[in-house]
Structure 1
Amino acid sequence: MSATPGTHMKHEIDQQPAIFADLLAAQEQFAEVAAVIAERRPRFALLAARGSSDHAALYAKYLIEVLLQLPVGLTSPSTTTLYGARPDLTDVLLLTVSQSGGSPDLVAVTESGRASGALTVAVTNTTDSPLASAAELSLNIRAGAEQAVAATKTYSATLLALYLLIDAIRGGGAALARTLPDLAATTLADAADPVEEAVQRYRFAGRMVTTGRGYSLATAHETALKLAETSYLSARSYSGADLLHGPVAAIDAETAVLALCSAGLGGESTREVVEAVHQRGADICAIGSAASKTPAAHRIPVPESAEEIAPILEILPAQQLALGLALARGIDPDNPRGLQKVTKTT
């Protein structure tokens, strides 16, 4: 680990615009895998992942259901590893997402799925991993080695890789993503001051709630995870709809709420949720391209983009906030207590 707290995490956050540019230049791998999937014409998609990769898989769930009009489910790996379930997966697309490719249960799910008839695709940052070997096809997210314990560049690169794959399956040419490297650089630069103000505002917060709807729900979940693992905050994430069905009762003036509010249907719906939360006195920080239209005590703007790629930009200031809060609270996010880079679950 670096002697200077947060050095690795900051460096990897700053690398993301270049990583996006590299992924966009690697269209061939997405086109090749997409062609196989399109030829097989799956009737259903399943997604398997853990941790941050599970949030990326949730993003892919929205993409597949909306852009490909396919039903999608999230697997429960323990049904395979603990209970020995072997459902018939004929004509099913099984996408397994893992930056390390080393989780035994995800490898087991992929091997079982392939043996049960699924078309298996691994999305990983480690091309020689057991997961990549277990799957019929694999995609490299090309993020490079990640030194920080908290995933930053591997998470956003996974989001972009999943978008590029799904866009290629529907015959798209990644047109909506072409400007992502420049938009990401602008986001990181423009968010620096608002993020620092948010750090000073929330450095003593005891609990936070993150919320979003649609594509941005993945960002809400990932942001809560980053805050918990780097700053040891009690952070929970909810979809806007779920937040209003019970958990809102626990929100008061002592609660900080981070709301993902980007242009599009999901952001519009989230603003309605924020208005309800605002009435309960919560301290609200709005993050996104529609933050200026949201009732909030603090705002972190993000450049506007197509709604389906907004989560790739939204997560950048959230990562900066997690880093800043950890440092302000005297915590080294490169060496969080009790955490390792690769978690091997069974």
Structure 2
Amino acid sequence: MTSYMLQEIDEAAGAVARQLADNTERLAELGARLRSLDPPLVATIARGSSDCCALYLKYLVEIVSGIPCASVGPSIATLYRTPMRLAGSVSIAISQSGRSPDIVDMQRAARRGGALAVALVNDVASPLATETEVLLPLCAGIEHSVAATKSMVAGLAAGAGLVAAWREDRQLADALSGLPEILRGQTAPPPSEMLEHLASARNAFVLGRGATLAIAAEAALKLKETCAIHAEAYSAAEVLHGPAELVDSGFPVIAFVPSDAARQGMLPALAALTNAGATVIAIEAGGTDDAHRLATAKVEATLLEPVVMIHRFYRLAEALARRLGRDPDRPRNLRKVTETI
């Protein structure tokens, strides 16, 4: 029986296509507004997979514009009640459900603090959607599996669309328009040898560098959520500063290796981990699959590689969960909407 998770991975392309069609005018208006505002800071508000979307957005904003982008802890508003000082800035809240009280309260606090409040939300009737000035619907539709996939891909695409519209980045916008077709072509299952190796793992590192650090964090979360594997995400620039001591023979390392300037900075760390005994599985653009490599489709703008990579990884996580005898749709201790206060 096909899992909801696998069905929703297949639906991600359609979600991105709907979003691109439906948000054209909204993005044009928001882009013009952001250029006029010229904010000195972008603050993001999110939790869970949505916070991984926010981390991806951080890298996009900082790489393309040089403007600092930072995550704000929702507890600043809900627990500490500290007034925010965000005059002239932008707050971007990201959520699938739009119903977690702390995210809604933090967005409200950001507005009171003077920020232009933007929300990337799947449920347009949610409290978060009404607590915002500019709404960008994710257009992912209902998601049945607890493990978010199509809404996560839609959130990444929405962040890229926002940056492309704001900075008038034609290359990024053009590459986004071709993204649905690329995602539709990624249907191959992961190599069985890769699944066999990971099935014996109880711990793993997931590495990224630059924008792929965001999806490394998401992949580590999915391995915990669907497979009960204790996976930790690190930047390849940080993993040798302590965590590498955990590596011994066969220790699995999943590496999201980009094609951009971050690639050369990542390779020496992977070589050092291999020398320490790690089994490295590289997820990268082009080529073919094998026991130690998961190949993803190539995309014209390298900043979109993380979107294509995580979409391919989701199939690996879903297949691994089933290989372990787990239901990827229904983790034991989790539910779809987590309402944190």
Compute the TM-score of the two structures, normalised by the length of structure 2: 0.95
Residue in structure 1 matched with residue 15 of structure 2 by the alignment: 19
The 2-side partners of 1:184 and 1:290 are apart by 14
The 1-side partners of 2:316 and 2:75 are apart by 34
The 2-side partners of 1:103 and 1:327 are apart by 30
Residue in structure 1 matched with residue 158 of structure 2 by the alignment: 161
The 2-side partners of 1:44 and 1:122 are apart by 16
Letter in 2 for 1:279: N
2:225 counterpart of 1:229: yes
Residue in structure 1 matched with residue 298 of structure 2 by the alignment: 304
Instruction: Report matched runs for 1:152-301 at 5 Å.
Output: 152-173=149-170, 174-186=173-185, 188-189=186-187, 191-194=188-191, 196-289=192-285, 298-301=292-295
Letter in 2 for 1:224: A
Q: Deviations over 1:169-188 (max 9, x none)?
A: 011341122221222122x2
| SS in structure 1 at match of 2:211 | helix
Q: Deviations over 1:55-96 (max 9, x none)?
A: 000000001111122111110111221111113210010001
Kept after mapping to 1: 8 A contact 2:215/2:310:
yes
Q: Deviations over 1:126-174 (max 9, x none)?
A: 1111111111111101000100000000001000011001110011341
Kept after mapping to 2: 8 A contact 1:97/1:123:
yes
2:322 counterpart of 1:323: no
Following TM superposition, by how much is the alpha carbon of 1:297 offset from its aligned partner in structure 2, in angstroms? 5.8
Residue in structure 1 matched with residue 138 of structure 2 by the alignment: 141
Kept after mapping to 1: 8 A contact 2:220/2:232:
yes
Report percent identity of matched pairs: 37
Kept after mapping to 1: 8 A contact 2:5/2:149:
yes
Query: Where does structure 2 lack aligned partners over 5 or more consecutive residues?
Result: none
The 1-side partners of 2:323 and 2:251 are apart by 19
The 2-side partners of 1:226 and 1:177 are apart by 25
Query: Where does structure 1 lack aligned partners over 5 or more consecutive residues?
Result: none
Select the residue among 87, 91, 96 that pairs with 2:93.
96
Following TM superposition, by how much is the alpha carbon of 1:25 offset from its aligned partner in structure 2, in angstroms? 2.0
| SS in structure 2 at match of 1:242 | coil
Residue in structure 1 matched with residue 328 of structure 2 by the alignment: 333
Kept after mapping to 1: 8 A contact 2:194/2:291:
no
The 1-side partners of 2:167 and 2:328 are apart by 39
The 2-side partners of 1:216 and 1:149 are apart by 23
Following TM superposition, by how much is the alpha carbon of 1:291 offset from its aligned partner in structure 2, in angstroms? 7.3
Q: How many residues align?
A: 337
The 2-side partners of 1:291 and 1:260 are apart by 14
After TM superposition, what 4+ stretches of structure 1 lie above 6 angstroms from structure 2? none
